[in-house]
Amino acid sequence: MQEVRVTKILNHNAVLAIGSGQRQYLILGKGIGFGKRTSERFTPSSDCSIYSLNELTDRGNPVSIVKEVDPVCLEVAGALIDMAQEKFGKADRSIIFPLADHLEFAIRRLRTGEPFDNPLNDDIRVMFHNEYKIAEQARGIIKRRLNLQLPETETGLLALHIHSAIEDEKVTQAMQEAQVVRRCVQMIEERSGKKLSVTSLGYNRMMNHIRYMVARMRTGEQIRMNLNDYMKGEYPKAFESAHQICTELSKALGHPCSDSEIGYLAMHIERVSEDAE
């Protein structure tokens, strides 16, 4: 990157700067703000992370977010994006701003003693396992930097932001997928009278199947093979449950569910039902 001029020092590891064409940047890097002065010119090193503040997106207004959040939140968000980039080979780095904003809000609630609630945390942990593992790192960083312990339930919400960065999918859409999966699990448990084992392989496979089934419903993609006749004849209870779930999903999402989805979902329901016995 070419030479920039410091407009504000956020802390030792974060500064705001202006480059050519009056473009504004957030620059993160270990010790980058140490000893610098406003209006000082410098050339960022290759190990710095540079974020444009001029590109407005539906993820939020970068300039207003940077003004309002604790710089530590920007550092934590940047670190999570770096981890996602390394793990998945890609990441929409503009997610740093809404992610930092989310962290700021969570820390504020923690300091004022407001309750945290995320009933979908366990489902998100299974559905977005790799993203969740990265999000877990945020709790340790915040503990070290601010001596605050974010509750574990907050990890799932951070994981959805990370998922949004790597899949170009809005956080609200990923949350809806988790809600749909949770409702499916509840329906299966209600109809079978059994509590499903969330640690079983069958449960993990079923949750991922439902997740991708929802994606297929949105795009209209069809499964070529049809297991309906076999599953209906061999496992009528599982098939009936799958049929009801597909019907409810179609109503909730506003997209038709292909008939061929029923048999595959029934197969997963039968597997998790056996695991629950």
pLDDT tens per residue, range 255-272: 999 999 999 999 998 888
pLDDT tens per residue, range 129-142: 999 999 999 999 99
How high is the pLDDT of residue 207? 84
Give all domains of the chain, ordered by start, each with its CATH number.
1-54 (2.30.24.10), 56-169 (1.10.1790.10), 174-276 (1.10.1790.10)
Confidence of residue 251 (pLDDT cuts 50, 70, 90): confident
How high is the pLDDT of residue 277? 55
Average pLDDT over every residue of 16-29: 93
Which of 40-44, 159-163, 169-173 has the weakest average pLDDT? Answer: 169-173
CA 255, 193, 271, 132 torsion: positive or negative? positive
How high is the pLDDT of residue 177? 82
pLDDT tens per residue, range 116-168: 888 899 889 988 999 999 999 999 999 999 999 999 999 999 999 999 999 87
Confidence of residue 35 (pLDDT cuts 50, 70, 90): very high
pTM: 0.84
Residue 57 reports pLDDT greater than 70:
no
Rounded to the nearest integer, the mean pLDDT of the chain is 90
- Top pLDDT among 55 and 91 is at 91
pLDDT tens per residue, range 59-115: 668 988 998 999 999 999 999 999 999 999 999 998 999 999 999 999 999 999 998
